[in-house]
Amino acid sequence: MLTNSLIKLFKRDLMTLKAEVNHYDSEANLWKTAEGIANSSGNLCLHIIGNLNHFIGATLGNTDYQRQRDLEFSQKNVPRTELLKQVDDTIVIVEQTLSNLTEADLQKEYKRNVFEYTMTTEYFLIHLVMHLTYHLGQINYHRRLLDT
């Protein structure tokens, strides 16, 4: 079933996110930006956590997560250990939520109108894994560029 593949992909990329965060020589560098780069890796990490907890955890898993999207981009200097814990917690939520979805659930219209068109839950979950991968690539690039 597709959910098994999605769990593997989300878990793989969230574990890679943890590795990227851990690869920074200096924790302070997680929060640096350079000219032409709007978001730090720390803020992108917070954004990934918020995005998945909101769209998977709260929307599909009925968790009590309350997203504060503005803080994902404005909060600074969250300790590395806290970021890593939040990623671990997100892995649990994604795995638990997706494990409970049926094939019929995947074919239902996604509960929120995120874009200007309707979509199935399956379509949106694929979008979310691609969104994660996109930001993971940015974080990898930022780390190699800014962690000098």
Is 2-146 CATH 3.30.70.20? Answer: no
Which pLDDT belongs to residue 147?
A: 76
CB contact at 8 A, 106 and 2: yes
pLDDT at 116: 79
Q: Residue 30 is encoded by which pair of tokens?
A: 């997680």
**Where do the structural domains in the chain lie, given as residue ranges?**
2-146
Place of tokens 């590395």: 80
Supply the pTM of this predicted model. Answer: 0.95
In degrees and rounded to multiples of 5, residue 120 shows phi and psi of -80, 160
Looking at residue 3, its pLDDT comes to 96
Q: State the maximum Cα–Cα separation within the chain, in Å, rounded to a whole number.
A: 49
Answer yes or no: are the C-beta atoms of 111 and 59 closer than 8 Å.
Answer: yes
Handedness of CA 81, 82, 88, 91 (dihedral sign): negative
**Which of 117, 3, 138, 8 has the alpha carbon at shortest distance from 60?**
3
Per-residue pLDDT band at 81 (split at 50, 70, 90): very high
Q: Taking 80 as the threshold, does the pLDDT of residue 40 lie above it?
A: yes
Helices (H), 24-120: 41-52, 59-61, 69-74, 80-99, 103-107
